[in-house]
A and B are shown apart, each in its own frame.
Chain A
Amino acid sequence: MAKRSCANTRWQKEQRFCLLTGGSLTRGVFFRWTPVVRSQSTDAFPDDSDAKETQRLKDEETEYENDIKVKILDAALGYVDISGWSKEALAQGAESLGYPSVTHGLFPKGGVELVHHFYQRANDRLSSELPSDIQEAHLDPLKAKNDLKILRLAVEKRLRMNADHIFTSRWTEALGLMAFPPNAPSSLKLLANLVDEMWFHAGDTSADFSWYTKRALLATVYKSTEMSMIQDRSDDFKSTWEFLDRRIDEMDQLRDCPKKLEEASVVMKGFYQTALNVIGVPDRRKME
């Protein structure tokens, strides 16, 4: 059995009614986690001023459960190339830690929870390693055009984290699981957090609608590069990085688009006025 901090005392919930608000708050009772002493009476107590304490204890419980789940998920990642992103891998991971294999039931959605865990771990790694990489490459987010260079760096770095699973052909399975309709919302959330993180490091401080367009754009670039990568057979994914370069260039061109549209609209306005004059429709402003 692996060592783990299993709380050996069993906790019971004591119901305490809050008289301060005349009987019920939210669902009516506060709970307190106290050690089980079976001879203890469970009469309702009239005092309750420790809502924070209750919440703290509840949060501790949740944290404790989450710690165990994270440990099992981390252990299960090692079995992905054998058993895929599945309950089997989770069961094997649990067994490697000393838990019985039935513990895979802690993850009712099965394999996709393992995929999301891996994705989140990679995102966290990116957040922690990216600042130092940017400094090494001597890129200053405040200078013009450097944000795209940083983005290119970030996308390549993040995609390389999937490389191991691409070699074992397991990443396509992961992408399929993430695209499955019940899982799609959480997967999109992870992607959204990822692109937000990348733009943050690239120095984005926009406060208008371009916040959304920038992230949507980067998300499409990232996804399309990922699709290219899973089909890539070149050495060290060279053709994928060239694909990425082309996409970044397109992003650059798109940025000039609003200016060009404005120029275009001035020209269109001019055409319109000329047309009106030719027909003979008077310009009302000039008449005044």
Chain B
Amino acid sequence: MLLMRFVKYSLTDSFTSFQNGKLQTAFVKKLHAGPYYKVSKDIKLDNLKSSTISHKDETVHFGFQTVSATEKAQKVHQVFENVASKYDLMNDVMSVGIHRIWKDYFVKKIFPLHPGTNIIDVAGGTGDIAFRMLEGLDRQNKNSNSSTDDDSGSRKNTTILISDINQAMLDVGKKRALTMNLQSDGLSWLCANAQELPLPENSFDLYTIAFGIRNVTDVSKALDEAYRILRPGGRFMCLEFSHVKNPLLKWAYDTYSFQVIPPLGEVVAGDWKSYQYLVESIRKFPTQDEFKNMIEEAGFRSVRYENLSFGVVSIHSGYKI
């Protein structure tokens, strides 16, 4: 019976009907009939328009809902607080491991990297990008050390600062760093908001942000901050989910996003709503060209983007020159 309803929803209704949560409650009830049912301590979506919202607050989108700016920040914080422990596992499950290929490609574009480069990886909580950069530097040193006599290698002077607004994500990243065999002397951690980084201007050569910028309340502010802390000649690189143009692929992608990912979230991490937010926030993010314009407005030049996987993911890159 549940399967029939599932099929009926997927074939006849549009995916927006899932917001009602009808399928969700039915699925969740059937699935978690036993002792494995976890009370998800996440966002209370029922009392959106509480009386505490002041009229001065701008409204922004939180997935497909509209909330005030301050509330979005809190909600996003809550989402990542909830998903932090299972973040990497869920990434693997949702993207069938393809996120690793995306991130590998993203990091490969940075190399060759010379000693003395200062890198900041924003919203890099669990350290995926930063660890790949460290591995890449190791590989680069191994290749070049055969010709030069420098035994400390170019790693010595390259610093990577991992910043995230959520301490829980950073904690997961620190734990992972310990288990990996990488030399992490150039690695540092910072809990900060991407819209207001407590860092001096003109202090970094490379600013990367992977799958983080769509969670920021005011994207332009984050881009302005990126421009501020980069040195002249510095590079801004952003890896983010984006829009698929091809209608057939789009339909398949949407179906997968709205039918499969939230239930998977419930099964694997016990959290339907966070993953619902995730797929909705992808739809709300500007298109590739719109985002490119936003980056240019912040002052970056030579801005270009590259689609991966037919537009599911897109890499935007700009220079402060």
- Taking a contact as CB atoms under 8 Å apart, the answer to whether B321 and A108 are in contact is no
Q: Which of B110, B114, B297, B302 touches A106 (beta carbons < 8 Å)?
A: B302
A81-110: CB near B (< 8 Å → 1, else 0) gives 000000110011011001111111110100
Nearest neighbor of B304 in chain A, beta-carbon distance: A108
Residues of B within 8 A of A94 (CB): 233
Question: A10 an interface residue at 8 Å Cβ cutoff?
Answer: yes
Q: Which residues between 99 and 155 of chain B lie within 8 Å of chain A, taking CB atoms?
A: 109-114, 117
* Interface membership of B299, Cβ < 8 A: yes
Contact of B112 among A12, A65, A101 (CB under 8 A): A101
Q: Is B62 an interface residue (CB 8 A)?
A: no
Q: Given known contacts A10-B299, A102-B233, what 13 new A-B pairs fall within 8 Å (CB)?
A: A6-B321, A13-B296, A36-B299, A65-B301, A87-B111, A100-B234, A101-B114, A102-B113, A102-B117, A102-B205, A105-B235, A105-B317, A106-B319
Which residues does chain A contribute within 8 Å of B232, judged by CB atoms? 1, 6, 99
B299 / chain A contacts, CB cutoff of 8 Å: 10-11, 36
Q: Which of the residues B114, B235, B301 comes within 8 Å of A61, measured between beta carbons? A: B301
Assembly CA distance A10 to B205 (angstroms): 19
Contact of B206 among A61, A98, A102 (CB under 8 A): A102
- With an 8 A cutoff between CB atoms, is A166 at the interface? no
A sample of 20 cross-chain residue pairs with beta-carbon separation below 8 angstroms, ordered by A number, consists of: A12-B297, A13-B293, A13-B296, A64-B301, A65-B301, A65-B302, A87-B111, A92-B114, A101-B113, A101-B117, A102-B113, A102-B205, A102-B206, A103-B233, A103-B235, A104-B112, A105-B319, A106-B302, A106-B319, A108-B304
Task: Give the nearest-CB partner of A11 in chain B.
Answer: B299
A residues sitting closer than 8 Å to B (CB atoms) are: 1, 6, 10-13, 36, 61, 64-65, 68, 87-88, 91-92, 94-95, 98-106, 108
Nearest B residue to A89, CB-CB: B112
Interface residues of chain B, those whose CB is within 8 Å of chain A, are 109-114, 117, 205-206, 227, 231-235, 293, 296-299, 301-302, 304, 317, 319, 321
Point out the residue from B227, B231, B317 that lies within 8 Å of A100, measured CB to CB.
B231
Q: Once the chains are docked, how many angstroms separate the CA of A37 from the CA of B290? A: 21
Docked complex Cα distance between A95 and B206 (Å):
14
B297/A65 in contact, CB under 8 A:
no
Q: Is the CB of A100 within 8 A of B321?
A: no
Shortest B159–chain A CB gap in Å is: 13
| Residues in A neighbouring B304, C-beta threshold 8 A | 108
Between A91, A95, A106, the greatest number of chain B beta carbons within 10 A of the residue's beta carbon is seen for: A106
A100 to B239, CA, bound (A): 21
Q: Which of A10, A68, A92, A99 contacts B227 (CB 8 A)?
A: A10
Chain B proximity of A272: nearest CB distance (Å): 62
- The docked-state distance in angstroms from the alpha carbon of A106 to that of B318 is 9
Contact of B319 among A10, A13, A101, A103 (CB under 8 A): A103
Q: When A68-B321, A99-B233, A103-B235 are in contact, do A87 and B298 touch as well, CB less than 8 Å?
A: no
Q: Is the CB of B233 within 8 A of A100?
A: yes
Alpha-carbon separation in the docked complex, A108 to B303 (Å): 12
Closest chain-B Cβ to A72's Cβ sits at a distance in Å of: 10
For residue B117, which residues in chain A have a CB less than 8 angstroms away from its CB?
A: 100-102
Q: CB distance B110 to A105 under 8 Å?
A: yes
The smallest beta-carbon distance between A38 and chain B, in angstroms, is: 8
Query: How many angstroms between the C-alpha atoms of A251 and B293 in the bound complex?
Result: 54
- Nearest B-chain residue to A100, judged by Cβ: B205
B233 surroundings in chain A (CB, below 8 A): 94, 98-100, 102-103
Q: Which of B111, B112, B298 contacts A10 (CB 8 A)?
A: B298
Residues in B neighbouring A12, C-beta threshold 8 A: 297
* The 6 A-B residue pairs with the shortest CB-CB distance in the complex, in nearest-first order: A10-B299, A99-B233, A100-B205, A101-B114, A102-B235, A12-B297
